[in-house]
Amino acid sequence: MPEEKDIAIQINGLKKRYRLGVIGGGTLQGDIQSWWARVRGKEDPNLKIGKVAGNRNETFMALDGIDLTVYKGERLGIIGHNGAGKSTLLKLLSRVTAPTEGEICIDGRISSMLEVGTGFNRELTGRENIYLNGAILGMTTAEVDSKIEQIIEFSECAKFIDTPVKRYSSGMYVKLAFAVAAHLDSEILIMDEVLAVGDMAFQQKCLGKMSDVSTTEGRTVLYVSHNMNTIRQLCDRCIVMEHGKIIFNGDVEEAISVYMNSAFKKTSYIDLLEVKRAKEYMGEKARIKSFEFIKNKASFLHDEEIEFCVKLIANQPLSNMRIRLEISYADMTKIGISESKTFSKIDEGENEFYFSYKPGILPKGKYIIALDLYGFGDNFTHQTIDHPVYNIGFEILDNEGEKLVWNHNYMGHVRLGTIVCDNMIHLRGQNNG
Amino acid sequence: MQKQWTAVIRPKNNLLDLKLKEVWKYRDLVRLFVVRDFKTRYKQTILGPLWFIIQPLFTTVIYNFVFGNIAGLSTDGMPGFLFYMAGNVPWLYFSTCITNTSNTFVNNAAVFGKVYFPRLTTPISTVITSVLNFLIQFAMFLIFWVYFIIQGAPIQINWVAALTPVFVIQMAILGMGFGIIISSLTTKYRDLQVLVSFGVSLWMYATPVIYSSSTLSPKMYTALMLNPMSPIIELMRYGWLGAGKTPFVFWGISWVTTFIVLFLGIIIFNKVEKTFMDTV
């Protein structure tokens, strides 16, 4: 059992409450109006129609009693769905906002990277930004001086270091920002999915650097990600959060399976009309209204056909459309894509499409579909018309009479075709030699 | 044995803990902010730092025309142009300090929401950046000052002029104090922002910038001097031009006000700083 002196972060009964809805009127005049109306016992003129006055003080617990101890030199992964409270926890740790209840005790300096290039100024050069960003993260100029060569080398931007960063590509931006954060002399490093940007090689380099600083320099790393592979690679302990609570704390693999099971919502009908789109303009020409598994279930046998119905509202006649399914494993690893044939014409208005699809190669497990509607041009151009950001979950079960042990970590996510044995010849018995 | 923590984060801190030590630890950041602001402010502009000069020059010309020539207000026997400029340049610094620090939270929300550093470093660096503008403007004033001496204007510089740096520091503190109070309030009430520029221009008329306090009745005079900016402007003008002396008592009162404002400002600022991300 590690001793108390080895604790880097101690969190006791941490809670964070947010008020729902608009806080105050936003303008002094609005607040005074509301106040005056309340005094006279009249209805608040600033309330939205249909809202009851009581709603005003409805609250939401983003963190609901977190207890956590992190020891020095640990690499702790934090996973959970959007809205589970991960980012709020990191915000509290990096002192961006204060908790409602509870306390956090920290031993050591914290440097946090909740977003890449925080405080970068577009007009300044890379070198100037290193100093500025270093100072924002708590380094003195002298400290940056002693590390600047390492930082520039790590960032792979040496050639452009005296160019204003507004001319940088987004990848270079990230590299530079990460280089600064990674070379800070802080004892605790907080990272929130900063590696999502940047190319593969650099991601690997960053992960290497992070485990390096942890093992050789004994620095503590807290890492939030939706990418299970980087969590696997980097972390030696992992917590899973849900609804502002820690629901699991321990081994990384176990944590990932806990997360995947909680991630997974199997529903046969999904309304996609109001779901967020991947880009602002998507869903304007046509909008996917809903997705439905027809047999009222989202579990299928390995060789069963998946039948589903997609409803589409077209705001104008469309031609040469295709629908595709982007299929991922439940830990968000992409597996592959299936496309429909081309619809040469889709009429304006509401349309229903009935599809059937036989994946065949997916072994037992939980999967996620993302829908994509796109125009398929003459020159094989691809223009996305609608792409609702929603993970449609489904499950593949073993065929009847088959019991397959399938470990997705070691065996992959695809069950390739059966090896066909064309002929088997018995040559001779053992004793007849 | 009780463990020594580097930092303990709790819902509420001691109100009187001003956290100035931490600001001192981040002094390099203040310096870099100043450098950044100065380097970037006039990038991609035609006239660049000339704007620092054009603004006070034009307002002085207009004041001279409107208040001196048309309204005929007394300038204590000084050349009107110099009289107005001597009031206008320091006032401009003070008003810049207020308006530029009054949107600290709203302007920096993006950075503040992502990383922690002592928030006070931002208004402090703003005020320091403005000192550089002030120096340029003051140099312009000195050129006109020398010109009018050569022209034979009855100008008598005296030892109070040596206090100019002290006046500047005081205006910086006072401007920042008011600025951070306003910026704390604007996290909740955005419309206070409108009030700032409006309020500051009204305040100028309650300060002897375009007139001399010597023309007022004793009662009005005392009331005017309770405005912390009045003794600063008057004394500065007295130091450089030698007209319209103000008793130093009022300057003492002005300092007391300045410190009260600064102290209150920091307390409110530190309180708002903790949770403003949830409301901004």
Residues A287-329 pLDDT 10s: 898 998 888 778 888 888 888 999 999 988 888 888 999 998 8
Portion of chain B with pLDDT greater than 70, in percent: 95
**Which residues of chain A are within 8 Å of residue B186 when distances are taken between CB atoms?**
none
Given a cut of 90, whether residue A389 has pLDDT beyond it is no
Q: Identify the CA nearest to A371 among candidates A427, A296, A311.
A: A311
Does residue B10 sit at the A interface (CB-CB below 8 Å)?
yes
Q: What pLDDT is recorded for position B44?
A: 66
Residue A106 φ then ψ, to 5°:
-125, 135
Q: What pLDDT is recorded for position A262?
A: 67
SS in 3 state form for A233-274? HHCCEEEEEECCEEEEEECHHHHHHHHHHHHCCCCCEEECCC
Question: What is the overall mean pLDDT for chain B?
Answer: 86
Given a cut of 50, whether residue A53 has pLDDT beyond it is no
- Residue from the list B6, B115, B275 with its beta carbon closest to the beta carbon of A98: B275
Q: How far is A240 from chain B (nearest CA, A)?
A: 23
Does residue B219 sit at the A interface (CB-CB below 8 Å)?
no
Q: Identify the CA nearest to B230 among candidates B155, B240, B220.
A: B220
Given a cut of 50, whether residue A422 has pLDDT beyond it is yes
Chains A, B: CB pairs < 8 Å: 122
Q: What pLDDT is recorded for position A55?
A: 46
- The vertex-B215 CA angle with B211 and B221, nearest 5°, equals 90
> Can you tell me the distance from the alpha carbon of B97 to that of B170, in angstroms, rounded to the nearest whole number?
11
Q: How confident is the model at residue A402 (pLDDT cuts 50, 70, 90)?
A: confident
Q: How confident is the model at residue B152 (pLDDT cuts 50, 70, 90)?
A: confident
Is A96 close to B117, i.e. CB distance below 8 A?
no
Mean pLDDT on A374-391: 82
Q: What pLDDT is recorded for position A50?
A: 46
Place of tokens 């709203």: B106
Residue B131 φ then ψ, to 5°:
-60, -40
The 10s digit of each residue's pLDDT in B189-233 is 777 778 888 899 899 999 988 888 888 888 888 888 899 999 999
Among A99-113, A118-132, B139-153, the range with the most confident prediction by mean pLDDT is B139-153
Report how far apart, in Å, the C-alpha atoms of B276 and of each of B109, B185, B236, B246, B271 are: 9, 10, 38, 42, 9
Given a cut of 60, whether residue A352 has pLDDT beyond it is yes
Mean pLDDT on A387-392: 84
Tell which wins on pLDDT, B77 or B59. B59
Structure tokens at A315: 């705001």
Given a cut of 90, whether residue A239 has pLDDT beyond it is yes
Q: Are B80 and B144 in contact (CB under 8 A)?
A: no
Question: What is the overall mean pLDDT for chain A?
Answer: 82
**Which residues of chain A are within 8 Å of residue B5 when distances are taken between CB atoms?**
105-107
Tell which wins on pLDDT, A408 or A288. A288
Given a cut of 80, whether residue A1 has pLDDT beyond it is no
Q: How confident is the model at residue B170 (pLDDT cuts 50, 70, 90)?
A: very high
Mean pLDDT on A261-274: 74
Q: Find the helix packing angle between B164-186 and B80-101, rounded to 10°.
A: 40
Q: What pLDDT is recorded for position A266?
A: 67
Given a cut of 50, whether residue B243 has pLDDT beyond it is yes
Report how far apart, in Å, the C-alpha atoms of B252 and of each of B217, B247, B255, B258 are: 22, 9, 5, 10
Mean pLDDT on B89-118: 87
Q: Are A151 and A179 in contact (CB under 8 A)?
A: yes
Q: Which residues 6+ apart lie within 8 Å of A222 measured at CB?
A: A9, A70, A76, A78, A90, A93, A188, A189, A190, A191
Q: Find the helix packing angle between B50-63 and B80-101, rounded to 10°.
A: 130
Single-letter amino acid code for the residue at B92: L
pTM over 0.90: no
> Can you tell me the distance from the alpha carbon of A22 to that of A16, in angstroms, rounded to the nearest whole number?
17
Q: What pLDDT is recorded for position A197?
A: 61
Q: Are B265 and B175 in contact (CB under 8 A)?
A: no
Q: How confident is the model at residue A52 (pLDDT cuts 50, 70, 90)?
A: very low
Which of the residues A92, A97, A193 would you substitute to probe the B interface, choosing the one with the greatest number of B C-beta atoms within 10 Å?
A97
- With H, G, I as helix, E, B as strand and everything else as coil, classify residue A386: strand
Q: What pLDDT is recorded for position A85?
A: 86
Burial track B190-219 (b if 16+ CB lie within 10 A, e otherwise):
eebbebbeebbeebbeebbbbbbbeeeeee
Q: How confident is the model at residue A51 (pLDDT cuts 50, 70, 90)?
A: very low
Does residue A127 sit at the B interface (CB-CB below 8 Å)?
no
Mean pLDDT on A15-25: 68
Portion of chain A with pLDDT greater than 70, in percent: 88
> Going along A108-187, which residue ranges are E strands?
110-113
Does residue A40 sit at the B interface (CB-CB below 8 Å)?
no
> Can you tell me the distance from the alpha carbon of A385 to that of A340, in angstroms, rounded to the nearest whole number?
15
Q: How far is B192 from chain A (nearest CA, A)?
A: 8
Tell which wins on pLDDT, A93 or A182. A93
Mean pLDDT on A208-222: 84
> Can you tell me the distance from the alpha carbon of B160 to that of B141, in angstroms, rounded to the nearest whole number?
17
